[in-house]
């Protein structure tokens, strides 16, 4: 029987193999595997000394229930973010990500919904978390700010120095949870519950057949240097970290406290000889292309740019390949509910235009009762089976809907529509929740967005539906133009109609100073639906 892995069991195996290799780089801070382990053990011992840990074991719980106490992490990128996560894992608590761009009311609602026994936060966020401090253990990370700390809050470094009885630390279980809070592009945040053993395979590039010997051997062969550009509060960055460390590699972080800075990203990649860079769609690719055109960088070590979480238009990928012809651009498709699910690679003068499914990736039929065969003309649902989450925290109804059981097998169905080609490749059509039903036609907004963004005067665009007396719904485009551009709505509609069917082209357009996106670069469709009310009709 194959060994199942907890995250701490995995990293201890790697640390035993390469204790002195750099594990984490953040500006001037450099941590080895041995140092990271020492610090996370000290944090775990401190938490256990406060009586925190696991209350009920997995075997006695429903799949939407959590029997472990929780740690909310309210930090921008820093080494302490990852140390807080792994210190919690070692103590058999569950850390989870909090969007530090939330206002106080939004953060309070999330913490009340998910629960928290400990809140680790950057000092400057003390006013943000003050409302939820109450009797919770508060640990602040120094960030150079002069913000007053909350009463009773303990400095992170003091916690590391104090530590506790490390001999009393528990042995983490592969059944211990990994909790990812996701708001997706729409709706109320949800807490996705993964067994760590499943997340190791589905999100951390782990093998279900991995042994201590095989993990150590991989690490000793020499790990890669990977750079996640998205914030650590998002799954794409965390999974890049976990996959890199699974290979015994070095993770490079940047300070994301300010707006996305393409120059800082590229300077870091150049300085640290980064081999793989993770980005999020157009929002990251566009400024990177502009900076690469403006200035030369020595990125000869870079081998791969991985993009996911939002669409990356074809011309931006082509521009990256023109500017960095030795690099492969890999489109990744996945969700917090599935892990990395499918991939497509593009190289200079050689593009794989379809997504190739990872292990367990399939397309389910419309009724979610059968798997579509290659070459089927039916539009179905992307799905994954095998190493998938248990469910949504404290939400049995949503758990049964998103993680249905088909013929005794549990699937994860993130809500995207797709078809499967004769060769088994998956063609993504778009998120079902953002489909516009106009005059009986289903229009996938991602297709319309891609067409609009190809216009040379368009910097960014989102597409949504709004009520229409004639069509039920009509397609609305929210568009950000390049500086100095003078494009009008009718001309934009005609341009789009030349690339896609006319019935899909926008019937109303609103030109905006900036298109709404979340800090991760993902579309803010809530903003787009509100803004769509002011769009001007461009078709009868």
Report pLDDT digits (tens) over 341-363. Answer: 767 778 877 655 556 666 788 89
User: 166 is written with which tokens?
Assistant: 């490390």
User: Could you tell me if 389 and 412 are in contact, meaning their C-beta atoms sit under 8 angstroms apart?
Assistant: yes
The pLDDT, as a whole number, for residue 186 is: 42
- Kindly report, residue by residue over 129-159, the tens digit of the pLDDT: 999 998 999 999 999 999 999 999 999 999 9
Q: Which CATH class is domain 358-385+396-431?
A: mainly beta
List beta partners, residue 361. Answer: 384
- Kindly report, residue by residue over 162-200, the tens digit of the pLDDT: 999 999 999 999 999 999 998 644 457 899 999 999 999
Task: List the chain residues with pLDDT less than 70.
Answer: 1-2, 183-187, 342, 350-358, 520
The pLDDT, as a whole number, for residue 354 is: 57
User: Could you tell me if 318 and 292 are in contact, meaning their C-beta atoms sit under 8 angstroms apart?
Assistant: no
| Interatomic CA distance for residues 236 and 253, integer angstroms | 13
CB count in 10 Å sphere of residue 396: 13
| Interatomic CA distance for residues 249 and 247, integer angstroms | 5
Q: Does domain 435-537 fall into CATH 3.30.300.30?
A: yes
Q: Name the one residue in this structure whose structure tokens are 């100095």.
A: 484
Q: CATH code for 29-205? A: 3.40.50.980
Domain assignments of the chain as residue spans, ordered by start: 29-205, 358-385+396-431, 435-537
The pLDDT, as a whole number, for residue 95 is: 98
List beta partners, residue 187. Answer: none
Q: Torsion angle of alpha carbons 124, 127, 131, 133, nearest 10°?
A: 40
The pLDDT, as a whole number, for residue 185 is: 40
- Kindly report, residue by residue over 387-425, the tens digit of the pLDDT: 999 999 999 999 998 998 888 888 999 888 889 989 888
For residue 404, give the nearest of 373, 355, 362, 358 by alpha carbon. Answer: 362
| Interatomic CA distance for residues 444 and 446, integer angstroms | 6
What percent of the chain stands above pLDDT 70?
96
The pLDDT, as a whole number, for residue 350 is: 66
Tell me if 29-205 shares its fold with 435-537.
no
Q: What is the DSSP string of 515-540?
A: --B-TTS-B-HHHHHHHGGGPEE---
Residues whose CB is less than 8 angstroms from the CB of residue 468 and which lie 6 or more positions away in sequence, other chains included: 438, 474, 507
For residue 226, give the nearest of 302, 123, 112 by alpha carbon. Answer: 302
User: Could you tell me if 343 and 358 are in contact, meaning their C-beta atoms sit under 8 angstroms apart?
Assistant: yes
| Interatomic CA distance for residues 310 and 434, integer angstroms | 14
- Left if phi > 0, otherwise alpha if psi is -120 to 50, otherwise beta: which for 242? alpha
DSSP 3-state helix, strand, coil percentages of the chain (rounded to 5)?
Answer: 35, 25, 40
Cα 21 → chain centroid = 27
What's this model's pTM, rounded to 2 decimal places? Answer: 0.84
The pLDDT, as a whole number, for residue 540 is: 77
Taking the CA atoms of the chain, what radius of gyration do you get in angstroms? 23
| Interatomic CA distance for residues 7 and 42, integer angstroms | 17
* Mean residue pLDDT across the chain: 91
Q: Torsion angle of alpha carbons 197, 203, 206, 208, nearest 10°?
A: 50
Integer angstrom CA distances of residue 183 from 167, 202, 247: 39, 20, 30
User: Could you tell me if 89 and 176 are in contact, meaning their C-beta atoms sit under 8 angstroms apart?
Assistant: yes
User: Could you tell me if 177 and 195 are in contact, meaning their C-beta atoms sit under 8 angstroms apart?
Assistant: yes
Question: Would you give the DSSP letter of residue 3?
Answer: P
The pLDDT, as a whole number, for residue 528 is: 93
The continuous run of DSSP H or E covering 47 comes out as helix 33-49
Cα 332 → chain centroid = 11
The pLDDT, as a whole number, for residue 183 is: 64
The pLDDT, as a whole number, for residue 164 is: 92
Sign of CA dihedral 315, 318, 323, 329: positive
The pLDDT, as a whole number, for residue 184 is: 45
User: 432 is written with which tokens?
Assistant: 């079902």
């Amino acid at each position: 029987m194959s060994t199942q892995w907890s995250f701490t069991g995995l990293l201890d195996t790697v640390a035993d193999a390469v204790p002195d290799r750099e594990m984490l780089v953040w500006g001037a801070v450099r941590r080895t595997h041995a140092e990271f382990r020492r610090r996370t053990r000290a944090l775990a011992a401190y938490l256990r000394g406060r009586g925190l840990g696991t209350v009920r074991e997995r075997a006695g719980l429903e799949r939407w229930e959590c029997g472990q106490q929780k740690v909310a992490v309210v930090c921008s990128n820093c080494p302490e973010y990852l140390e807080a996560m792994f210190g919690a894992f070692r103590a058999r608590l569950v850390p989870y990500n909090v969007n530090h761009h939330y206002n106080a009311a939004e953060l309070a609602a999330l913490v009340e919904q998910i629960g928290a026994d400990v809140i680790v936060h950057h000092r400057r966020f003390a006013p943000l978390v003050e409302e939820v401090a109450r009797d919770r253990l508060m640990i602040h990370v120094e960030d150079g700010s002069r913000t007053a700390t909350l009463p009773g809050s303990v400095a992170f470094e003091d916690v590391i120095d104090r530590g506790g009885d490390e001999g009393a630390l528990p042995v983490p279980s592969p059944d211990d949870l990994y909790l990812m809070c996701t708001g997706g592009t729409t709706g109320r945040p949800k807490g996705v519950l993964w067994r760590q053993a499943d997340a190791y395979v589905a999100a951390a590039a782990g093998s279900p057949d991995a042994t201590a010997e095989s993990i150590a051997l991989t690490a000793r062969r020499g790990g890669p240097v990977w750079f996640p550009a998205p914030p650590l509060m998002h799954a794409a960055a965390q999974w890049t970290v976990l996959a890199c460390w699974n290979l015994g590699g070095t993770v490079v972080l940047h300070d994301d406290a300010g707006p996305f800075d393409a120059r800082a990203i590229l300077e870091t990649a150049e300085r640290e000889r980064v081999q793989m860079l993770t980005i999020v769609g157009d929002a990251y690719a566009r400024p990177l292309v502009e900076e690469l055109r403006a200035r030369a960088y020595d990125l000869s070590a870079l081998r791969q740019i991985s993009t996911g979480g939002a669409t990356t238009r074809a011309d931006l990928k082509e521009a990256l390949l023109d500017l960095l012809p030795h690099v492969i651009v890999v489109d990744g498709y996945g969700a917090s509910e599935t892990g990395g699910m499918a991939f497509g690679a593009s190289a200079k003068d050689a593009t794989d235009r379809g997504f190739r499914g990872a292990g367990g990736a399939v397309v389910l039929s419309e009724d979610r009762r059968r798997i579509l065969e290659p070459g089927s003309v039916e539009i179905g649902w992307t799905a994954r089976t095998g190493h998938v989450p248990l469910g949504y925290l404290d939400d049995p109804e949503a758990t049964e809907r998103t993680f249905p059981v088909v013929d005794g097998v549990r699937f994860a169905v993130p809500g995207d529509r797709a078809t499967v080609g004769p060769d088994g490749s998956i063609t993504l059509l778009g998120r079902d929740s953002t489909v516009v039903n106009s005059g009986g036609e289903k229009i996938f907004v991602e297709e319309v967005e891609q067409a609009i963004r190809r216009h040379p005067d368009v910097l960014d665009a989102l597409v949504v539906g709004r009520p229409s007396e004639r069509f039920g719904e009509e397609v609305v485009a929210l568009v950000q133009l390049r500086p100095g551009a003078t494009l009008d709505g009718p001309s934009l509609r005609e341009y789009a109609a030349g690339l896609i069917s006319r019935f899909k082209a926008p019937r109303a357009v609103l030109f905006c100073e900036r298109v709404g996106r979340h800090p991760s670069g993902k579309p803010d469709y809530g903003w787009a639906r509100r803004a769509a009310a002011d769009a001007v009709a461009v078709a009868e």
